[in-house]
Structures are given as structure tokens and as C-alpha cells.
């Protein structure tokens, strides 16, 4: 795996933070809805589970529907949100509108997911997100949730 060194660095930083704060942490991963980001973040999720975390993977519905062979692991659950393009971005679609919808609808869904986790007694210890989603950090800050940018470099 070409992306393993970057994942190992992120995993190391998360382990230090999480072991200092709690056992069996619940981590939320928000990823860009494209294959080159989904696969590396799923690998990161597997590593976090091996480290003792419970992970919720939070892609858009269009990405979730393309993940027909998602891993079935103890400690991994999936939650999806509608970005307004549930059947994917089609050629000729307005990319700026897509990005705007992704942020608007994703932010609202993220708020609801974080609040639901807290209300169910399963708060997220940390939110991991790609640098393409600065709105995730804004939502996390507004809800006083710790977050960390996971810089994922898709393999070439």
C-alpha cells in the first residue's frame, strides 16, 4: 500500500490523543465521495479498529451506494447523508452547485449525527475529515467536538 506511511502517522497521533482521553473511542470519518479517497480512509478505519476504536464511516449516499463490497467488521458502521446527488455527479452537472450542496446538506447531516451520538450516550471522541471538507471542522467547533484533518493521498 503506497499510502500506508501517511496513515501510520495519522494513526500514531490519534492513538496518543485517544489513549490519553478514553478507552474504546468512537471516531467519525467523513470522506470525499470518490474512490481514491474512500479506499484509503477505509484502510485507516480498519487500523483504528485494530487499535481499539469504534468507527463510523460517513460518506455521501452516492458514495455509499457504490460501496457494495464494504467491509463487514466488528467496530465499523456506516452512516450516509444525501448530498442532493444521490445517484452521483453526472457529466454536465454544475460542480459548484454540487460542492455547495455537499457542504450545506453534509453540515446539517453531520450536526444531526453528532447530536444523535451524544444523545445515545455514544459521543464521538474525534472527527476525522479530508482537507476538502473545511466545513467539517466548523461543525465540530460549533459543537465542541475534537476533530483532525486526515490528509489522504490517493495512490497513483
CATH of the domain at 124: 3.40.50.2000
Domain assignment present for residue 123? The answer is yes
| Per-residue model confidence as pLDDT tens digits over 58-86 | 988 776 656 656 567 789 998 988 887 77
Catalytic residue among 17, 26, 37, 144: 37
Question: How far is residue 64 CA from its own chain's centroid?
Answer: 12
Mapped onto helix, strand or coil, the DSSP state of residue 133 is coil
Number of compact structural domains in the chain: 1
Cα gap 46→49, rounded to integer Å: 5
State the residue range of the domain holding 37.
33-152
To the query of whether residue 17 is one of the catalytic residues in this protein, the response is: no
| Per-residue model confidence as pLDDT tens digits over 83-140 | 877 777 678 777 888 888 889 999 999 999 999 999 999 899 889 888 888 899 999 9
Terminal CA-to-CA distance of the chain, rounded, Å? 11
Cα gap 110→59, rounded to integer Å: 11
Domain assignment present for residue 39? The answer is yes
Domain assignment present for residue 19? The answer is no
Domain assignment present for residue 11? The answer is no
Domain assignment present for residue 127? The answer is yes
Amino acid at each position: 500500500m503506497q499510502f500506508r506511511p501517511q496513515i501510520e502517522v495519522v494513526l500514531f497521533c490519534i492513538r496518543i490523543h485517544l489513549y490519553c482521553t478514553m478507552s474504546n473511542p468512537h471516531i467519525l470519518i467523513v470522506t470525499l465521495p470518490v474512490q481514491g479517497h474512500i479506499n484509503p480512509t477505509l484502510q485507516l478505519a480498519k487500523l483504528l479498529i485494530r487499535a481499539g476504536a469504534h468507527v463510523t464511516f460517513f460518506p455521501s449516499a452516492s458514495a455509499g451506494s457504490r460501496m457494495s463490497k464494504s467491509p463487514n467488521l466488528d467496530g465499523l458502521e456506516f452512516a450516509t447523508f444525501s448530498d442532493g446527488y444521490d445517484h452521483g455527479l453526472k457529466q454536465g452537472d454544475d460542480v459548484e452547485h454540487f460542492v455547495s450542496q455537499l457542504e450545506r446538506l453534509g453540515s446539517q447531516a453531520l450536526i444531526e449525527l453528532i447530536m444523535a451520538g451524544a444523545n445515545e450516550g455514544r459521543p464521538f471522541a474525534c472527527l476525522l475529515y479530508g482537507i476538502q471538507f473545511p466545513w467539517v471542522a466548523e461543525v465540530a467547533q460549533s459543537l465542541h467536538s475534537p476533530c483532525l484533518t486526515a490528509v489522504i493521498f490517493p495512490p497513483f
